[in-house]
A and B are shown apart, each in its own frame.
Chain A
Amino acid sequence: MEYVIIAIVVVVVAAAGFLGAGVARTRRAKMARLPPSSTTGETATLPNPTETVAPSIDSPTQALPIPAPDVEAPDLEAPALEMPEPTANRLIRLRARLARSQSTLGKGLLAVLGRDRLDERAWEDIEDTLLQADVGVASAGEIVQRLRERTRVLGTRTPGDLRALLSEELVAAIGADTDRTLHTFPHADAPAVVLVVGVNGTGKTTTCGKLARVLIADGHSVVLGAADTFRAAAADQLQTWGAKVGARTVRGAAGADPASVAFEAVRMGTEDHVDVVLVDTAGRLHTKTGLMDELGKIKRVVQRQGPVDETLLVLDATTGQNGLTQARVFAEVVDCTGIVLTKLDGTAKGGIVFAVQRELGVPVKLVGLGEGADDLAPFEPKAFVDALLG
C-alpha cells in the first residue's frame, strides 16, 4: 500500500516540478510587466488617475512610470479633525484596558503560588494558566522551569515574593531591555519609511491610521500609502483614517500594482519633504507564496529610493500558535523590525509574543487597545506583564 502513496507523491512531486517552472515563468513575466523605474508602454493600459487630484499637491510629472495615484489631501479646515491625545496618558489607559479583561491568568497563578506546598500539581496549574494565555507549550514550559529553579534556590514562599518573581520571569521572557524604539526619524533628504504587514484582519489599516495620528501629534508630517489595492474598499478605509488624523493618502486604482503605489507614496513623500511615509499593505496569509513574493517585491521596490526604516508585523492578540508561524514567514520575507500587538482590549492575552520573542527576537513595539484613534500605545514589558498579572 505504501507504494500507492508513493506513486501519488511521485506524480505530485513531478507536477510540482513542472509547476514550479510554470510559476517562476509567470512570476517573471509579471515582474517584467512592472515598470519599476523606467517608462514603459504599460502606463497606457493602467487606469487613469482620477480627476480628484487635490490641488494642494504639485502636479505629478508626466513621465511617471506608474499610474499617477489619486492623491487626497486632507481638508485641514474640516472640523472633523480631532486633537490627538498626548501619548503620555496612554499607558495608564493601557493598564486599565488590560485590567478590564481581568485575566484568570493572574488570579489563577497567584492562587497557586499562595498554596503552602508547591507540589507537582501546582506547577502544572501554573503552566496551564500560561497556556491559556496562548504562551504556547514550549515557552510556558521554559518559564515554569526557570520559576521553579528560582523558587528553590531562593526558598521563596510568600505570595508577594512569588508574584514578583513570576513577573520578573515574564518580563525577562518578553525581553526586558530590548530596544523598542520606533525608527521614524526622517533622513536628511528622505522621509522615514514604515511598512505595515500581516495576515488578514489583524488591524494593519487601523494601526496605520493610529500611528499616523501619533506621529502628527508629535509634530511630524505624514503621508499614507494605500498599497492594499486588493481588498474591497481598503484604500477608502485608509483614506478615511488619513482624513480623520490629517494625513494625505496616496492610492492607486483597484487592482493596481501595490509595489508601484508604495513606490509612489515614498516618492511623493520625498518630493514634499514629509517626515514619515506609512505604507499599508493588503492582508495576506503567510502560506500564499505568490502573495508573499508580492510583499517582498513591495519592500524591494520601495528600497530603491532608500531604506525602509521599520517593517511592522501586525499580530492579533487573539491569534494562537499560528502567530509564531506567521511571524516566522513574514520575518523571512520582509525582515520584520517590530511587532504591533492589536486587540489587547479584548479577553485575549496575546501570549504568543513570548514565543515570537523567544524564537525570532522580534520585539513588540506597539500595542492596539481599541478601535479609537488614540488606542495605540508603546509596548512596555513591565506594564504589559503587570496588567496581565492583575
Chain B
Amino acid sequence: MFDTLSERLEKAFTSLRGKGRLSDADIDATCREIRIALLEADVALPAVRQFIGAVRERAGGAEVSKALNPAQQVIKIVNEELVEILGGETRRLRLAKSPPTVIMLAGLQGSGKTTLAGKLGQWLKAQGHTPLLIAADLQRPNAVTQLQVVGQQAGVTVFAPHPGTAEGGISGPPGDPVAVARDGVAEAQRRMHDIVIVDTAGRLGVDTQMMAQAAAIRDAVDPDETLYVVDAMIGQDAVTTAEAFRDGVGFTGVVLSKLDGDARGGAALSVRFVTGTPILFASTGEQLSDFDIFHPERMASRILGMGDMLTLIEQAEASFDADEAQRMAGKLATGTAFTLEDFLEQMMALKKMGPLSNVLGMLPGMGQMKDQLAQVDDSDLDRTAAIIRSMTPGEREDPKLINGSRRARVARGSGVSVFEVNQLVDRFFEARKMMAQMAGSMGLPGARRSNRKNARKSTRGAKKGKKGKAVRGPTAARVPAGLPPGMGGMAGGGMPGQPMPDLSKLKFPKQ
C-alpha cells in the first residue's frame, strides 16, 4: 500500500529538525512529496498542480511553530487547503417550490446510478417524501428490471413503461428515454409524488450522440438537481469526464460512489477542482442504506491517508480518562499485567464514544481488518461485558483460573454458551500477546524498541529530492501483522518533554 502523506513528509523532514523557517529547498522537497501522495491518491494532475501552488504559497510564509514539527505543520496546511477545496460545508438537496422536485442522475457506465436511485429513494422516503423512480436507462440489458427490484426493496414506486433492453424486448421497438422521462414527471404530478428521480443510462463523455440524448432528457424534465455520479476509484480521467458531463448535460451536484472500498478517492478533489460543483452525497455500500451526506473533512483525511483521526482523538479525549489510559498502556507493555477487568473498562470507555461502527470508520486505512470489525456491533460488546461481569474479581484478575467448571458457571451466569466463554478466554490471551507486541512497536516505555530502530534507519536512507521507490522505506516492518497501515504513523514514541496540547501531534511519529 501507499505510504501516507504524513509518513512521506516525516521522511522528507528528517534532516531539518529545529530550523526556524522552511527554506525554499525544504518547500520544494515537501511539494514533491505532496505531489506524489496526491497522485497516488488519484488526484488529477491539473488539480495537483494548482493545489501545490496554493500550499507552496502558504508554507513559504509560515513561521515554523513551536508546537508542531515542520511535517506536521505542512500537513496541517495541506489538510486545511483540501477541506476548503472539497467544499467547507455541505449543501442540501434543493427542492422545487412547486412539486414534483426533479432529480436527474448522470454518469459513466458502471458508476452506480441505478443503485443510487434506490438509495436516494429510500432516504427521501424516510424523510416523509413520496419519491417516484423513473426507469430511463433503456440501454443496458435489464437495467429497468434492476431499478424495479431496487425500487421494491426501497418501498418506492417505479415508473417503467418500457422494458428497455431485455430478453423479451430485444425485438420490440427501441424505447425513447426522453419520452419515458417526460411521461414520468407527468405521472408524478398526477399521482402526487413530490420527488422524481430519473435513472439514465451510463454514457461516455466522448459519445456525442449519447450526450445529446442526456441533454434532451434534461430539457424534457427540467431537473431541479442533476447529480453526477462518479466512482471513487476513478483515476486521472475524472477531470476529462467531469468536463464532458458539465459541458454536455451540466450538473448541480456530485455523488461519490463505492466509497466503501479502499480507493483514496482523489477524484473528489479533481471533480470539485474542475467544476466547482459541491459533492452532496457519498454512496458507501451495496445495501440501500449505505448512503450518507458527504463530509469534506473525512474525505480530506482519506485522500491524505490518515483516516478521520482528529475527530477520533477528540472523542477519545472525552471518553477516556487520560491517567487511567496511561496506567493501562503501562500494563500493556508488560504483556501479562493487562487483565479482563482492564479490558472491561476499556471496552466501556470505547462504548461511550458512540456506535462502534462510527468509531471504527474513523480509523485510518484499516482495510481488511475494518471490514471484519464492521461486523462487530454494540451488542457484541454488551455480551462480552456480560460474560466478564459473571466472573469473580479473582478470575478477572487472572483469567488462567477459569477452568472447565468455572466456565460453565460463567456461561450460565451470563446466559451464553460455554463455547462463547471459551472463545472469549482464548482470544483474550491471544489479544494480550498481540497488544504487547504492538506496544513494543509503538515505543511504549518498557517495551521492546527494535521496531523503532528499524524505522529510523530507513528514514535516514531517504534523501530528499529522490523520487519514487528510493523515498519509500519498508513499511511492513514497522507494525505487527494485522495492524492497519495508517496505525504505524499514528501513534509515535512520544518525545518526553514535548508540550502535548496539540492534538494533531498524535498523528505524527517523532523519532
Q: Which residues of A contact B (CB under 8 A)?
A: 1-23, 72, 78-80, 100-101, 128, 131-134, 136-138, 141-142, 199-203, 205, 209, 230-234, 236-237, 239-241, 243-244, 285-290, 316-323, 325-326, 343, 345-349, 351-352, 371
Extra pairs beyond A286-B261, A321-B235 (13, CB < 8 Å): A4-B325, A11-B343, A11-B349, A16-B482, A19-B376, A22-B375, A23-B372, A80-B171, A203-B110, A236-B142, A287-B371, A348-B240, A348-B241
Query: Do A343 and B109 touch across chains, with their CB atoms under 8 A apart?
Result: yes
| Cα distance A8–B307 in the bound complex, in angstroms | 15
Nearest B residue to A317, CB-CB: B237
| Cα distance A287–B367 in the bound complex, in angstroms | 6
A-side contacts of B439, CB under 8 Å: 6
Query: Do B240 and A347 touch across chains, with their CB atoms under 8 A apart?
Result: yes
Known A-B contacts A5-B490, A19-B375; the reply to A13 vs B431 at CB < 8 A is yes
| Cα distance A349–B328 in the bound complex, in angstroms | 52
A198 nearest CB across to chain B (Å): 10
Question: What is the interface residue range for chain B against chain A?
Answer: 35 or more
Greatest chain B CB density within 10 A among A6, A23, A78, A323 is at: A6
Q: Please choose the segment from B22-30, B59-67, B182-190, B311-319 that sits at the chain A interface, where 4 or more of its residues have CB less than 8 A away.
A: B311-319
| Cα distance A13–B491 in the bound complex, in angstroms | 15
Query: Do B371 and A322 touch across chains, with their CB atoms under 8 A apart?
Result: no
Q: Which residues of B contact A (CB under 8 A)?
A: 1-2, 36, 39-42, 44-45, 108-112, 139-143, 145-146, 148-150, 153, 165-167, 170-171, 204-206, 231, 233-238, 240-241, 244, 258, 260-264, 266-267, 286, 312-313, 316-317, 320, 322, 325-326, 328-329, 332, 338, 343, 346-347, 349-350, 356, 359-360, 363, 367-373, 375-376, 380-381, 384, 423-424, 426-428, 430-431, 434-435, 438-439, 442, 444, 467-469, 482-483, 487, 490-492, 494, 500, 503, 505-506
Main SS of chain A's interface residues? Answer: helix
Query: Do B110 and A316 touch across chains, with their CB atoms under 8 A apart?
Result: yes
Query: Do B1 and A325 touch across chains, with their CB atoms under 8 A apart?
Result: yes
A-side contacts of B332, CB under 8 Å: 6, 10
B-side contacts of A230, CB under 8 Å: 286
Query: Do B424 and A18 touch across chains, with their CB atoms under 8 A apart?
Result: yes
| Cα distance A12–B350 in the bound complex, in angstroms | 9
A93 nearest CB across to chain B (Å): 15
A-side contacts of B492, CB under 8 Å: 2
Nearest A residue to B261, CB-CB: A285
Known A-B contacts A6-B444, A318-B234, A325-B1; the reply to A201 vs B167 at CB < 8 A is no
Query: Do B241 and A319 touch across chains, with their CB atoms under 8 A apart?
Result: no
B-side contacts of A78, CB under 8 Å: 171
B-side contacts of A1, CB under 8 Å: 313, 317, 322, 494, 500, 503, 505-506
Query: Do A237 and B490 touch across chains, with their CB atoms under 8 A apart?
Result: no
B189 nearest CB across to chain A (Å): 27
| Cα distance A137–B48 in the bound complex, in angstroms | 13
